[in-house]
Structure 1
Amino acid sequence: MIHHHPDDGLLLAEAAGTLSSGHSLLVASHVEGCGHCRARLRELEAVGGAMLEQLAPAVLPSQALAETLAAIDAPPPPPAARPKAARSSRPALPDGMAWPRALRGCSATPWRWIGPGMRWSRVTVPFDAAANVFLLRIGAGKELPFHTHSQSELTQVLHGAFHDGRALFGPGDFDEADGDIHHQPKVLAAGECICLASVEGRVLFQGALARMLGSLVGM
């Protein structure tokens, strides 16, 4: 059962299309597995559509028709080079675990070591090289260094569970953390945990070694 969800602010931004690519990917990954948030997102999209219908008609500039006709009559531009499709490479997952459909079109590196019992994988988001999205795979009983955030971090639990001193987060749960949150996620002893994360700004770790490892991951 899912206990933690994106708040209405995030869902409204997703409905309006104003979230960054990375954060939108995280919200979409949660929504596809959460009936409650799917229904709430549809409500917010319907409200937005109703608000658009109530807007007063806008008066077009006097030259709008002439410019439109000129654009129609203009010769077509040369075809642009088609972007290379993202590779479908993905790191291995535990038996029974499936990739979120929201990651369709994304590629991810093999698992890379960042510490004892800890691995990570960089996720490439098509058409947005600046998106800072990655997977974390943390072993049973292991914990991340204590940290806070310069801006925001969204986390979607794909497998396993962790506790960060505030709450327990299990499969399907969603977390948003910012500079007001100071925590140290620790994976439960029952098994490893795999999370999808999107970071805007930086994760601010305590300790020189943790900061160095975080910079390697782009956290």
Structure 2
Amino acid sequence: MTIRHHPGDEVLLELAAGRLAAGPALLVSTHVEMCPRCQERLRTLEMLGGAFMEGLEPEPLRPQALACVLAAIDALPGRGAPVDSPSFTASRTRPAWPAGVPWPRALDACRLAPWKWIGPGMYWSRVVLPADPSANVFLLRIGPGKRLPMHTHSGFEWTQVLHGAFHDGREGFGPGDFDGAGSDVHHQPVVQADGECICLAAVEGRVVFDGAVARLFGALVGM
């Protein structure tokens, strides 16, 4: 497997520092799991970060600092309130998975819905993250030669290819490849003709589809 598209060092650094939101963090972690190059880059960044922290002069805490932090945590909105359950049934069982395609270990702690038909040769499975159940993360399983509607994004769309390949008019993406697309990207992913494609995706904001029918498609699948 030759991986050609990777998250940048700034994204890996955000992951190492714990500053990525839960959805993008899952995508980047899944990529790192598949990519020896990024495993090495992440280790290097973690070591550099550790060395930097060790070189800092210790600062004394002010009196009652711990008490102030705990009080601030208790004051967070919704603390202790029950989390609304998703409007669909999700379970820890995996959706049907093609033989020979490795299952990402990063998904083991998540709840996943069974595949849901969203169009001829197209299926969708919602991924519920324990750290952020409201994160918009999902699996897409698209058949050979099929294409998603043309769209852009109100925020940022992160995609990790788990199996198969597609082209979106900018680049070709194959197994292990990672992509981040912002509001400046207007594209239409088209799956290669010789096999299906399975991707893990996270969306911050909304996917903005062209045309009324495509927008209805997006609303139906929560994209």
TM category, shorter: 0.7 to 0.9
| C-alpha contact (below 8 Å) 2:91/2:113 kept by paired residues | no
Tell me the distance in 2 between the aligned counterparts of 1:164 and 1:123.
24
Q: Percent identity?
A: 63
Tell me the distance in 2 between the aligned counterparts of 1:47 and 1:16.
11
Extract unaligned runs of 5+ from structure 2: 68-79, 84-89
Tell me the distance in 1 between the aligned counterparts of 2:196 and 2:63.
64
| C-alpha contact (below 8 Å) 1:136/1:194 kept by paired residues | yes
| C-alpha contact (below 8 Å) 1:139/1:191 kept by paired residues | yes
| CA drift at 1:106 | 1.1
Partner of 2:172: 168
Partner of 1:60: 61
| Structure-2 change in CA distance of 1:168 and 1:63 (3 Å) | closer
Partner of 2:33: 32
1:39 partner amino acid: E
| C-alpha contact (below 8 Å) 1:105/1:126 kept by paired residues | yes
Q: What are the residue-to-residue correspondences of 1:89-104 with 2, within 5 Å?
A: 89-104=93-108
| CA drift at 1:88 | 2.0
**Superposed CA offset, 1:74-111 (max 9, x none):** xxxxxx9xx9xx84211101111121011111121111
| Structure-2 change in CA distance of 1:193 and 1:64 (3 Å) | closer
Tell me the distance in 2 between the aligned counterparts of 1:44 and 1:180.
29
| CA drift at 1:59 | 2.3
- Of 97, 103, 108, the residue aligned with 2:112 is 108
| CA drift at 1:216 | 2.0
Tell me the distance in 2 between the aligned counterparts of 1:96 and 1:159.
10
Tell me the distance in 1 between the aligned counterparts of 2:128 and 2:53.
34
Q: What are the residue-to-residue correspondences of 1:20-169 with 2, within 5 Å?
A: 20-63=21-64, 87-169=91-173
**Alignment TM-score, normalising by the size of structure 2:** 0.86
| Structure-2 change in CA distance of 1:64 and 1:19 (3 Å) | closer
Corresponding pairs, count: 203
Tell me the distance in 1 between the aligned counterparts of 2:4 and 2:45.
21
Tell me the distance in 1 between the aligned counterparts of 2:10 and 2:212.
35
Q: What are the residue-to-residue correspondences of 1:190-205 with 2, within 5 Å?
A: 190-205=194-209
- Is 2:192 the counterpart of 1:188? yes
Partner of 2:211: 207
| Structure-2 change in CA distance of 1:42 and 1:119 (3 Å) | same
| C-alpha contact (below 8 Å) 1:6/1:27 kept by paired residues | yes
| Structure-2 change in CA distance of 1:205 and 1:63 (3 Å) | closer
Tell me the distance in 2 between the aligned counterparts of 1:61 and 1:100.
44
Tell me the distance in 2 between the aligned counterparts of 1:141 and 1:214.
20
Partner of 1:7: 8
| C-alpha contact (below 8 Å) 1:87/1:105 kept by paired residues | no
| CA drift at 1:63 | 4.8
2:180 partner amino acid: E
Extract unaligned runs of 5+ from structure 1: 68-79
**Alignment TM-score, normalising by the size of structure 1:** 0.87
Tell me the distance in 1 between the aligned counterparts of 2:169 and 2:131.
37
| Structure-2 change in CA distance of 1:63 and 1:102 (3 Å) | closer
Tell me which structure has the larger Cα radius of gyration.
1
